[in-house]
Structure 1
């Protein structure tokens, strides 16, 4: 019942996006010396969540059209126009480290939202 609350769905989606970004960053760093490798990236959470959830009608029952509540995001090849190395690889370790720090911050935020919402829910039920 409580897993259908929008704030919990949002926090879960945010954590899933952060996990996928962490995986893409790790793959990029692992392939930093691979000739011809093009870096991968994941679209920002706010852009993908807004496009999946922002404009549609709100479904109040599972039988309503479009009520699956499914959120998806995918890894795509980076569209960086920066300089590639002579072997065609465009991974920048410095950029990946900055992205990793930002992704950790996003993941921590998702956990904080979840924890705070759970605390509010428990308080409203009279439990601590």
Structure 2
């Protein structure tokens, strides 16, 4: 069994959540654009499962693509239902995703804060 660096995992999840939040915001912003197809980020579980996969970044400044970090891909989630505006964005689904992202950020922050406090308590004389 391999050791898990909690802070590295939390950082990776925070970057993934940021990318997902941006993707969902783009879906909401383009909800009335004709022929727009909604996007989402691949599940975080897939990133953790493939964390030995290296990324082919074209520049070190690309978001979420630092060498040695897991890759994060945006995937097309366009379903078969076309709305009146001619696209496949469901505002209800996007708002649910937005709420899930906020909740995941809160959990991530609470876990990191708890472990940080525990580390500080062990370091105090």
Alignment of 1:42 with 2:70, yes or no, is no
**What residue is the counterpart of 1:101 in the other structure?**
99
Partner SS for 2:51 = helix
What runs of 5+ residues in structure 2 fail to find an aligned partner?
54-66
**What residue is the counterpart of 2:32 in the other structure?**
33
1:71 deviates by 2.2
Partner SS for 2:124 = coil
TM-score, normalised by the number of residues in structure 2: 0.77
Measure the CA separation in 1 of the matches of 2:107 and 2:98: 14
Measure the CA separation in 2 of the matches of 1:88 and 1:24: 19
The one of the two structures with greater contact order (alpha-carbon pairs below 8 A, sep at least 6) is 1
Measure the CA separation in 1 of the matches of 2:70 and 2:110: 20
Partner SS for 2:40 = strand
Measure the CA separation in 2 of the matches of 1:110 and 1:73: 18
Please give the residue correspondences for 1:66-105 in structure 2 after superposition, counting only pairs within 5 Å: 69-81=68-80, 83-105=81-103
**Count of residues paired in the alignment:** 109
What runs of 5+ residues in structure 1 fail to find an aligned partner?
56-67
Measure the CA separation in 1 of the matches of 2:116 and 2:70: 21
Structure whose CA Rg is larger: 1
**What residue is the counterpart of 2:5 in the other structure?**
6
1:79 deviates by 4.7
Measure the CA separation in 1 of the matches of 2:26 and 2:109: 24
**What residue is the counterpart of 1:124 in the other structure?**
122
